Structure 1
Amino acid sequence: MSIQSDLEMLAKQEALLQFDKFDASTAWDLGCALRAVAEAKSAVVAVHIQLGEVSVFSFSMVGTTPDNNEWLRRKRNVVQRFYRSSYAVGLGLQQRETSLLERYGLSVTDYAAHGGCFPIRVKGVGVVGSIGLSGLAQRDDHEMLVEAIARYLKLPYEDVRLPAE
């Protein structure tokens, strides 16, 4: 596994995992699907889906803390700023040996370039929101999102998953 190969797969994920439409009903269905994936893996996570500036789904499993919601906010800010997954932004910065603060002047108080937030793209429209997850290691946060989105879109997860570390 290399950062470059992961970045290539992350770009593929973002290109393929797009919705025909996305509204509050879609958010509910996707959020519940993500919760089911987490429960099946015995993962303790917090989930947040935002459409524009509106929170349309939020769920925190027993065992999460307010810190999980803070991580979600900071990762969501990265997606809203760059229209990329927070993991892709983080790996890109790592590859360049820089940080959000050094490259863009963005404070870690408000931005976290760590895996776990993914842009919601609607075909022909662009990014309309984000879906975030917090509670696992950053790569695992990211991959759980990708798995749930791929399954929701009826795409084979195996075609878009990151290689094992």
Structure 2
Amino acid sequence: MKPIHILLYFFLSTTFTFGQSKYLTKQGYTSFFSSSPVEDIKADNHQVLSIIDSSTGAIAISILMKSFMFEKSLMQEHFNENYVESDKFPKATFKGEIQGLQDLNTGQQEVTIKGNITIHGVTQTIETKATVNKTDEAISVNGSFPVKVADFGIKIPAVVVNNIAEVVEVTFELDHKPYIK
């Protein structure tokens, strides 16, 4: 009987420990900002899904493109229909690694994040600096990086080319809590 109890205890403790290394958010925040001589365009998205494996530093992010909200509804319509083609490419994703996350102590620290971002069906490798705030109950990741619109096959019509910057600034704030199945 005792070997069965030991085996059961080992299984449960392994499962519990494994579960504690995963951190999740379903309400992360991302935005992008385009500044041009004609106008500034900003869009916010509060429905960002992200998961981190703190034992490896792996991070995955999924963003529903139609969840970006603009000040003007016409901008939102053009963004979804003409530029990112949200019906054809409904999500932007990122899969990568927070370098050295497993070695970080609690507290706030600057890190490097490397990985592949896919927008509009095009995948590019990026590397950016970010701030990680790690506690026993959460992992927050905040930062920003530039995105060159043309690198993702997003075509801007000549009629509005002066209204939209060639490079937009993407900002993210992801507050992860322990993932419990």
**TM-score for both structures, normalised by structure 1:** 0.28
Q: Which fold has the larger relative contact order, with Cα–Cα distance below 8 Å and residues 6 or more apart in sequence?
A: 1
Q: By percentage of residues, which structure has more helix?
A: 1
